[in-house]
Amino acid sequence: MNSATLAKACVGLIALGLVVCPNFARAGGVPEGHNAINADLGFSKGGADLGFDYEYGYDRTYSVGGYLRVIPDSTSNDALQNGVTTFGVFVRPHFSRANWDFYVSPGFGLISEKYVVNSSTYTMLGPSFAVGLLYELNPNMSVGAEEMAVYGWFNSTAGGLTNEDLTAKFRFIF
């Protein structure tokens, strides 16, 4: 079992525990009417993956917002990886208990994928899906992890799963 599979299994088990346990302590991750900035940091074959999200607490149980992710390419012969830059919008339902916030985040956005083999760049539209778990350090700051997958559509040459990454996530509510 590789580390990505293990991480997904751990997040899934914790999420299942949060969902099936009764007596949720509070309603959601980002309070209604508040804003949040999320910073993502991960590592891939090409170097540091960087990302930012903006969330607006639309209701007490979910938020809406936008995302930006930049994943660098790698031209090393033993670790080829296409570069991906994507931005889009999402809806993020939150399932919280005590200081833990589990969320799922379906979205849709614009993807630019740079192929390292033939130096071509393809631009596509497509869905994204993220699953995350955050721990609230104080009412305005949380840390955790997120797994995000981005899929490209509407391109006959490129498309399908363009990127999947696991990142550390930092959330600041204001």
In whole angstroms, give the CA distance from residue 1 to residue 15.
Answer: 20
Q: What is the pTM of this model?
A: 0.78
Report how far apart, in Å, the C-alpha atoms of 48 and of each of 43, 162, 173 are.
Answer: 5, 17, 24
Q: Is the pLDDT of residue 131 over 70?
A: yes
Q: Which DSSP helix (H) or strand (E) runs through 152?
A: strand 141-152
Q: 3-173 in CATH: which number?
A: 2.40.160.20
pLDDT tens-digit readout, 69-86: 998 887 776 667 778 899
Taking the domains of the chain in order of start, what are their residue ranges? 3-173
For 7, phi and psi rounded to 5 degrees? -65, -40
pLDDT tens-digit readout, 84-129: 899 999 999 999 998 999 999 999 999 988 877 777 888 899 999 9
pLDDT tens-digit readout, 59-70: 888 999 999 999
Cα 23-136-133 angle, rounded to 5 deg: 80
